[in-house]
């Protein structure tokens, strides 16, 4: 595996309250949310100790493995961890540099380096050496993220990697109710990444209705392979159906049903499922 793209996420300086709200907004991932909440409590305790005059020594950066399929929230959790590590004094930066594909690893600048592993990409020894170099500088936290197959091949290729990771988080596949909630969240989002561009979901149907349609019209293997990544296309397809009615700005239950069905068919063909 080597690296093709490098995206660095710069956000406003985080506050603990903002990060707590982000954690509460995560859909699914109950155990991981509990682990993130535990880190928040440790930060609060350290702040109280510092306020009472006790000397607080932040831990050194450590490295993690995120095990899970596409669309299960690994990038979201990495960005939250980056902020928590920064607030805890573990890292000097709260930025997350997310990499995958064929591009040389760059300095993560004291933040989090998230390396997404593609199961189909051959393991590249030079890439692994660069990752180890970043880890050994002890200025950044490195997260390897991918499926069991990809991570297993990657770590087996160089046994020096294995002992450098302090924690492993398991990202389970999202169920249909989780996917329905995320779809509703995406549909309600208004901003730079507004998928519906002025359209709104009809308020007469809810999470249970959407979850049933997702369960009925999407193959289980597609949901497992793509998880939340399949939802954008479904909303785009639903908007196309609604757009056929002049002046219409509401996506009906039947529009969304066709959108879910058409979006699932697109990915099923694309992935040869």
- Residue-wise pLDDT tens digits, 39-75: 999 899 888 888 888 887 777 888 999 999 999 999 9
Residues 6+ apart with CB under 8 A from 78: 66, 96, 98, 112, 114, 143, 145
Domain boundary among 171, 186, 202: 171
Instruction: Give the ranges where 92-139 is alpha helix by DSSP (H).
Output: 125-136
203 & 165 share domain:
no
Please report which residue ranges of 29-73 form alpha helices under DSSP H. 30-51
| Residue where one domain finishes, among candidates 147, 171, 195 | 171
**What is the domain-level CATH number for residue 16?**
3.40.50.300
Mean pLDDT of the chain: 87
Of the given ranges (20-29, 68-77, 148-157, 229-238), which has the lowest mean pLDDT?
148-157
In DSSP terms, which residues pair with 112 in a beta bridge? 96, 141
Q: How many domains does the chain have?
A: 2
Query: Are residues 161 and 129 in contact, defined by beta-carbon separation less than 8 angstroms?
Result: no
pLDDT tens digits for 66-91?
A: 999 999 999 999 999 999 999 989 99
Same domain, 113 and 53: yes
Mean pLDDT of 130-140: 85
Last residue of one domain, picked from the residues 171, 190, 211: 171
* Residue 107 pLDDT: 57
Give dist(CA 125, CA 107) in Å, integer: 18
Question: Is residue 244, in this structure, part of any structural domain at all?
Answer: yes
pLDDT in tens, 177-226: 999 999 999 998 877 677 888 889 999 999 999 999 999 999 999 999 99
* Contact by Cβ (8 Å): 134, 142: yes
Q: Provide the domain limits for residue 221.
A: 176-267
DSSP state of 168: E
Answer whether residue 255 shows pLDDT above 60: yes
One domain, residues 139 and 186: no
**Residue 206, both tokens:** 């809810």
Is 272 contained in some domain? no
Query: Same structural domain for residues 151 and 249?
Result: no
Is the pLDDT at 2 greater than 60, yes or no?
Answer: no
pLDDT at residue 103 tops 70? no
Alpha carbon distance 142, 108 (integer Å): 9
In a domain? residue 273: no
pTM over 0.85: yes
- pLDDT for 5 equals 42
């Amino acid at each position: 595996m080597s690296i093709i793209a490098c995206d660095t996420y710069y956000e406003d300086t985080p506050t603990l309250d903002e990060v707590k709200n982000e954690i509460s907004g995560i859909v699914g991932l109950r155990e991981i949310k509990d682990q993130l909440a535990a880190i928040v409590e440790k930060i609060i305790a350290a702040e109280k100790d510092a306020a009472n005059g006790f000397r607080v020594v932040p831990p050194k950066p450590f490295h993690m493995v995120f095990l899970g399929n596409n669309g299960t929230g690994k990038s979201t959790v990495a960005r939250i961890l980056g902020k928590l590590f920064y607030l805890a004094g573990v890292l000097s930066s709260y930025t997350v540099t997310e990499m995958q594909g064929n591009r040389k690893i760059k300095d993560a600048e004291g933040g989090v380096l998230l390396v997404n592993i593609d199961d189909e990409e051959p393991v590249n020894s030079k890439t692994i050496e660069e990752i180890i170099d970043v880890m050994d500088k002890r200025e950044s936290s490195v997260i390897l993220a991918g499926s069991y197959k990809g991570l297993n091949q990657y770590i087996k290729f160089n046994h020096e990697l294995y002992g450098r990771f302090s924690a492993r988080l398991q990202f389970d596949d999202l169920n249909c109710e989780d996917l329905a909630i995320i779809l509703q969240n995406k549909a309600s989002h208004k901003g730079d990444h507004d998928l519906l561009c002025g359209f709104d979901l009809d308020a007469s149907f809810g999470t249970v209705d959407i979850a049933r349609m997702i369960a009925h019209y999407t193959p289980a293997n597609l949901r497992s392979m793509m998880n939340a990544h399949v939802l954008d296309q479904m909303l785009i397809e639903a908007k196309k159906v609604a757009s056929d009615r002049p002046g219409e700005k509401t996506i009906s239950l039947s529009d969304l049903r066709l959108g879910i069905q058409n979006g699932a068919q697109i990915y099923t063909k694309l992935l040869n499922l």
